[in-house]
Structure 1
Amino acid sequence: MLYTIDFMQILEGKKIYFSSDNHLGAPNQELSKPRELKFVKWLDEVKKDAAAIFLLGDLFDFWFEYKHVVPKGFVRVLGKLAEIKDSGIPIYFFVGNHDLWMDDYFEKELGIPVYHKPKEFTFNNKTFLIGHGDGLGPGDKGYKRMKKVFTNPFSKWLYRWLHPDVGMPLAQHLSVKNKLISGDDDAKFLGEENEWLAQYAKRKLETKHYDYFIFGHRHLPMHIKVGENSMYHNLGDWINFYTYGVFNGTTFELKEFKNKI
């Protein structure tokens, strides 16, 4: 694991940015290209005053790392991430349910640490719990069982025996068609009391205080108060909403990136 900064005092004029659920490659490379170009423009914008950038999973609709092979495509976004990281801006990546088979490519090639579960950070004395959000909270038992199978080292070892020309299209098809495998729910607001990531946040607050819970996965931009001084924010997505999070050292807000291609 790369060295990471868990505590940060944000300099005046700097901000921390959060993004999730781009699903690049869905429904296919051609149709996702405009979203990739728009996301690259966003990265160009935020790098001007970014203290750090957090990518909260499902950047790709499917990702698998063979020993010597990674999925074809995404050159523009990977190149931009490399450029930003090389400039000295830290980037953090949390795997989602669509790119949960990410291994060490980002760490070795781009110098970007990769996390497979939520992690705590402190910025300007505000505590954050950050993650993708899949498999957390009550319910979704079918997906939770499937996730254990998919993340099992033996399962990954077996899958690597499939030739990439077979394994990649198969996984991409299942990623789109099989909701049990993908873990995606219909993007409908369930009400503050029924949103399961909000319930997860409330449960976490029983043992420790957090100022902010930042997650993706639900594809819906939302703010829910989960404690007297605690908020749960969902980042939305880059398919329908093009929303992202910003922490300026004092407050957190969601914004929409309206730049046109």
Structure 2
Amino acid sequence: MISITTANNKKVYFASDQHLGAPTAEASFPREQRFVNWLNTIKKDAEAIFLLGDLFDFWFEYKTVVPKGFVRVLGKLAEIKDAGTPIYFFVGNHDLWMNDYFEKELNIPVFHSPQEFKINNKVFLIGHGDGLGPGDKGYKRMKKVFTFPLFKWMFRWLHPDLGVKLGQYMSVKNKMISGDEDAKFLGEDNEWLVQYCKKKLTQKHYDYFVFGHRHLPLEIKLKENSTYINLGDWIQYFTFGEFENETLSLKKD
């Protein structure tokens, strides 16, 4: 478990689901600018920054090639990390083919599954959130195919001009994860991530569960001292998590 202690007047920030590149590079450019401006604002008092996946609407790392674009956000992340602020990245279902580019080029650790962190003596379970909990069996089967080594090896043999174009087309066509579908709260009993968090609480105490993926800002009290936070997105809501002292709250840019 990684431990973080904030200095005086310092905060920890969480953001997810920017989906840069969707539905087109031109259409997402204002969102990229807005996100970079937000990074510029928080870098002054950030003890650490957590990015919880789907930063890009499509991402695939060939051995020597990555999708072009996004230089402003990548440059800003490099600047913040080089200045000494830790950044932690969790892959989502749109950037699940991320390998070591962030680690080698930006010195940002990349996680492929939920991880435990201790921040100011509060225990967090943090991840993107896709494929967790009951249900969503279709996506879980699809994820197994997409992450199967043979499938990734075959896709890598496509020329990047074809592979990236195909991946971008498939990403945008998936309405839920490209942000085209209006996500609605389904009630605690039908929210798979809520059910996942409640089950985890039977095994161990967590003060905060922090996830993305749902494109819906949510703050749900699971127990008196345990809360589930969903970060929303940067397509419709432009929301983020801010942890100060011992309290995590949702904010809007």
TM-score (norm 2): 0.97
Alignment of 1:103-114 (within 5 A): 103-114=99-110
**Contact 1:119 1:130 (8 Å CA) reproduced:** yes
Runs of 5+ consecutive residues of structure 2 not aligned to the other structure: none
One of 72, 81, 85 as aligned partner of 1:85: 81
Judge which range, 170-179 or 205-214, deviates more.
Answer: 170-179
After superposition, give the CA deviation of every residue in 1:167-218 in whole Å (9 maximum; x if it has no partner): 0111111111145998997511101222111110000000000000000000
**Residues 65 and 148 of structure 1: CA distance in aligned 2, closer, same or farther (over 3 Å):** same
Q: 1:27 aligns with which of 20, 23, 26?
A: 23
How has the CA–CA distance of structure 1 residues 193 and 220 changed in structure 2, closer, same or farther, with 3 Å as cutoff? same
Question: Structure 1's 186 and 151: CA in aligned 2 closer, same or farther, altered over 3 A?
Answer: farther
> In the aligned structure 2, how far is the partner of 1:138 from the partner of 1:31?
35
Equivalence for 2:229:
233
Counterpart for residue 240 of structure 2: 244
Most deviating of 225-234 and 104-113: 225-234
Give, in whole Å, the separation in 1 of the partners of 2:212 and 2:119: 19
> Is the 1:65–1:102 Cα contact (8 Å) retained in structure 2?
yes
Does the alignment pair 1:12 with 2:13? no
Residues 183 and 37 (structure 1), Cα distance of their counterparts in 2 relative to 1, 3 Å cut: closer
Number of residue equivalences: 253
Distance across 1 between alignment mates of 2:23 and 2:44: 31
Cross-structure match for 1:55 = 51
Q: How far did residue 226 of structure 1 move?
A: 1.3
Match of residue 121 from structure 2: 125
Please provide the CA RMSD for this pair. 1.6
Contact kept? 1:20, 1:217, Cα under 8 Å: yes
Q: Any gaps of 5 or more consecutive residues in structure 1? A: none
The one-letter code matched in structure 1 to 2:127 is: G
Q: Distance in 1 between matches of 2:72 and 2:193?
A: 32
**1:34-89 Cα shifts (integer Å, max 9, x gaps):** 00000000000000000000000000000000011000100000000000000000
SS of equivalent residue, structure 1 residue 193: helix
> What amino acid is aligned across from residue 146 of structure 1 in structure 2?
M
Contact 2:242–2:248 (Cα < 8 Å) also in 1: yes
Q: Residues 133 and 122 from structure 1, CA distance in 2 versus in 1: closer, same or farther, beyond 3 angstroms?
A: same
- Secondary structure of residue in 2 paired with 1:226: strand
Residue 196 of structure 1 pairs with residue 204 of structure 2: no
Q: What amino acid does structure 1 have at the position aligned with 2:2?
A: D
Give matches, 1:77-226, under 5 Å: 77-178=73-174, 186-226=182-222
| 4+ runs deviating over 3 angstroms | 178-186
Aligned-partner Cα distance in 1 for 2:163–2:216: 31
Other structure's SS at 2:27 match: helix
Could you say what secondary structure the match of 1:103 adopts? coil
Change (3 A) 1:11 1:181: closer
Deviates more, 1:176-185 or 1:131-140: 176-185
Tell me the SS of whatever aligns to 2:188: coil
**Is the 8 Å Cα contact of residues 3 and 119 (structure 2) preserved in structure 1?**
yes
The TM-score, its normalising length taken from structure 1, stands at: 0.94
